[in-house]
Structure 1
Amino acid sequence: MLKDYNVNEILLGLTLFSLPISTALNSVFLVLFFLYNLFYRIKHRSFKDMIYYSPAYIIFFIHLIGYFVSEYREDAAKKAVLFLSFFFLPFLFQPIGKIIKIEKMILYLFYGILLITIYAFGRSVYDILILDVRYDYGRGVDLLLNYTPHHTYLSMYILSVILGISYLIGEKKVTYHLSISLPFLYLMIFLLPSRTAIILALTIVPFFIFNFLKNRFDKTKMVTVLLLSFALLVILGFSIDYTRDKMVYAFYEVFNISTKEKPFYGISRRRIVWNTCLNLIEKAPFLGYGIGDVQHILDTTYIANEHFELKKINAHNQYLQNILNYGVFFSTIFAGIIIWVLAKLVKRKESLLISIWIVIITISFTESILQRQWGVVFFSIILIMSLYRINLNKIHY
């Protein structure tokens, strides 16, 4: 009976499904699925394909070096454990059986988002009506986020799901009922709202949606429908006071336009954080500070410069975070792996994976996404799926 199903596609799908719901459940799934596949590979002696996932193992060992460089070993150990997904997940991409498809796995992520959103909405309503919880300045979404992943990670998932469902519609691999979810998912980006995700929703996402759908529908009609749909959704999105004000004040901060009110400090605070990171990089450019020490050093520097409100704030830029963690040399290797993967995906015309990588790479400019399990597991799955697709003909021998 199991032969009729792609078991590892289901296991990987469940890993993605559980990611927005519970990191604890996600960890349990990762360990169990790894042990199951390790036993299977030992039984069938199928380890030849593991060489094709060496870039993932290189990243894992770079992170491990960051552990040994650290003085705060307890904190470093917690960070090192996060990256075990780079070690575990290649075992799930078996060379035996059916080909694993990223678009199918993305659907599992969609159902995970749907489930946690329904639960979070129900709990938020309960908090307001029964527990009499109050909020101000349009931040009712904060109640919902008490029961979901951080808004940046949730936005990253939603953008990936929008791209995945659009791809499936374009390839005639999914029924139309899923397309009904797209407007609601798109509006969620404005509701959360991550500024970087909103910019992506306004620029890159429509471009890829058009490219995914252009071969299935009449281009003229499709452009008209898409433009009208996006215009309506954007108007609805920016009708939310909190979202509109957040974007407007971000514009003011970027272009140094003075205002009487400053309800948001996202840009100005990030500038302080980034300048602090750059100053620290100058002092230890080669090996960095180690994955366990970076936050301690950042906090000490914030306090020394009287930026007490920034304590516990990470680099909020994955590229700066990498250099702080590993130094310039190992961070260059890390970046080189991603560039090499992207070049190979472009050569193979893997449009869905490319679009998801653009989302990840862009969000990484304003968030240190590999500091939490929500980001590490998603990143590692996309990386290993990319390596799988690049070497598909060699793996399925």
Structure 2
Amino acid sequence: MSVSYFWSIDKHETLKAIPKGITLLLLPLVFMKVQISKTEKEKLLKYYSFSMVLIVVFFLLRAVIRYLVSQDTRNFFYHGESDDDYGLVPNLLNAIHVSVFVALAFFYFFTKEMKSKIDIALSLLLAGFIILLSSKNIILVVVVLILVYFLYYSKASHKMRLRNLIIFGGIIVIGLSLGKIKQRFQEEFRNNAPNSISPNVSATLENGVHNISIYEAWNNEKFSPNDYFPGTALRVYQARMFLELLKEESIFFKGFGLNASEIKLLEKEKKYNLHNGYGRFNFHNQYIQNFAEIGVVGFLLLVIMLFQTLKKAINNKDFMHFSFAVLMISLFLTESFLCRQRGVVFFTLLFCIFNSISPKESINIEAKL
């Protein structure tokens, strides 16, 4: 990332971005010298999870107070929009990122073998908060991970697989029927499903704003300032722009430089006549972001890191580690998580903690298994 400064097409932006990513270098250097035990890892996860409980309580109290003042139910869901800051968490904090932070804490309490009433209550509190944050991707991943836990990791998994599958299938149905969550899923499917496979069905028109479908995002030669890109359509459009840039520019090996791709996305915004501002969105996909900015080497390094941590989690039968790996793999498909300093710190620190159990203890774990 730092070396990309020398060929960056926007050296100023690359230089600004390097300090945000310095954790990717410093924390691994620390963990090369300091190895933690399994017991220490459990303590760290415990402190982290209880800290997240305090943060969740704070934002719920904040939402209640703001609702009493404004009588606006938006205070209980997702994050604020750019024109106002109504939302369960502030716009700049990002509901999807917070969902990931809370999800890991949820699994700490949810997967404890000996659960107290407090553990159960905190699990329900964190699960409810994730639902209120309304991130479709994270909700689905959490549900899938719960299923995996009951089917393959819990002590009773072999005896109750069918029953648990039925129960959690029902939970999915109930979850998707809840007001705001149902609305977010319905909006995504309504805006994208009709045109996702056929160009002959017109997209939804609301208040003069044209909701772009997946098909249109991938195929339209021109857009208009009245076009609105729902979440999935925006990500499809950004993937399309990346493939175009990959063909047009010599970025396969080196990329544009760290944080330097915005110039090219702004050029695409003008070319396709998008509403002013869409060109300032990053790729919303960490794999593509790495490839576009630091080339195929950066892309492969990220994939290798994720594959390595997932493999180690499976080999050690460590569900918390497995949850972290799956959450990161899925999050990177829809977010450029490592473009934010909090994303870099979260990913690097947890990656190092999960992969730094001392060799002696690793041998003991393998012997027990």
TM-score tier, shorter chain, comes to 0.7 to 0.9
Conserved? CA contact 1:348–1:390, under 8 Å: no
| Residues 366 and 232 of structure 1, relative CA distance in 2, 3 Å threshold | closer
Counterpart of 1:76 (choices 14, 22, 36) is: 14
Equivalence for 2:367: none
**Equivalent residue in structure 2 for 1:194, among 135, 139, 150:** 135
- 2:176 is the counterpart of 1:238: yes
Aligned equivalent of 2:230: 265
Letter in 2 for 1:105: L
**Residues of 2 paired with 1:240 and 1:394: CA distance?**
44
Structure 1 stretch displaced more, 113-122 or 324-333: 113-122
Determine the C-alpha separation between the residues in 2 that align with 1:345 and 1:95.
Answer: 20
- Report the Cα offset of residue 375 of structure 1: 1.5
The equivalent residue for 1:203 is: 144
What residue is the counterpart of 1:287 in the other structure? 254
Alignment of 1:1-397 (within 5 A): 63-90=1-28, 91=30, 95=34, 99=38, 101-130=40-69, 132=70, 134=72, 142=80, 143-146=87-90, 149-167=93-111, 169-170=112-113, 172=114, 175-214=116-155, 219-220=159-160, 224=163, 228=167, 231=170, 235=174, 237-252=175-190, 253-254=192-193, 256=195, 260=204, 262=211, 265-282=230-247, 283=249, 284-307=251-274, 308-389=276-357, 391=359
Cα distance 1:141–1:87, how it changes in 2: closer, same or farther (>3 A)?
A: closer
For residues 139 and 350 of structure 1, what CA distance do their matches in structure 2 show? 32
Q: 1:163/1:226 Cα in 2 relative to 1: closer, same or farther (>3 Å)?
A: farther
Deviations 1:25-44 (A, max 9, x none): xxxxxxxxxxxxxxxxxxxx
Deviation at 1:71, TM superposition (A): 4.0
Query: For structure 2, which runs of at least 5 residues remain unmatched after alignment?
Result: 81-86, 206-210, 212-227, 365-369
TM-score, normalised via structure 1 length? 0.70
Measured against aligned partners, the alpha-carbon deviations of 1:261-305 in whole angstroms (never above 9, x if no partner) come to 559711222211111122112222221001131123222322332
Query: Which of structures 1 and 2 has the larger relative contact order (alpha carbons within 8 angstroms, sep 6+)?
Result: 1
- Whether the 8 Å contact between 1:82 and 1:372 is mirrored in structure 2 is yes
Alpha-carbon distance in structure 1 between the residues aligned to 2:150 and 2:19: 36
Which whole-Å CA distance do the structure 2 matches of 1:243 and 1:290 have between them? Answer: 38
Once the two structures are superposed, residues 170-198 of structure 1 have per-residue CA deviations (whole angstroms, 9 ceiling, x without a partner) of: 2x4x6442122222322322221111112
CA deviation after TM superposition for structure 1 residue 318, in Å: 0.7
Post-superposition shift, 1:153?
A: 0.8
Tell me: CA distance 1:148–1:80, structure 2 relative to 1, closer, same or farther (3 Å). Answer: closer
Would the aligned equivalents of 2:78 and 2:95 in 1 still touch at CA under 8 Å?
no
Unaligned stretches of 5+ residues in structure 1:
1-62
Number of residue pairs matched?
327
| TM-fit CA distance, 1:137 | 11
Contact 2:290 2:299 in 1 (8 A): yes
Cα distance in 1 between the residues matched to 2:294 and 2:68: 48
**RMSD of aligned C-alpha atoms?**
3.4
1:336-393 residue CA offsets vs partner (Å, 9 max, x unmatched): 2332343344333333212210111011111111111221111101221233138565
How has the CA–CA distance of structure 1 residues 137 and 388 changed in structure 2, closer, same or farther, with 3 Å as cutoff?
Answer: closer
**1:389 is aligned with what amino acid?**
I
User: What amino acid maps onto 1:294 in structure 2?
Assistant: S
Structure number with higher helix proportion: 1
Of 190-199 and 342-351, the range deviating more from structure 2 = 342-351
- What do the CA deviations read for 1:140-196 (whole angstroms, capped 9, x no partner)? 7633211883111111112222222233x12x4x64421222223223222211111
The answer on whether the counterparts of 2:255 and 2:294 sit within 8 Å (CA) in structure 1 is yes
**Aligned-partner SS, 1:389:** coil
Relative to structure 2, which stretch is displaced further, 346-355 or 280-289?
A: 346-355
Amino acid at match of 2:241: T
Distance 1:96-1:137 versus aligned 2 partners, 3 A rule: closer
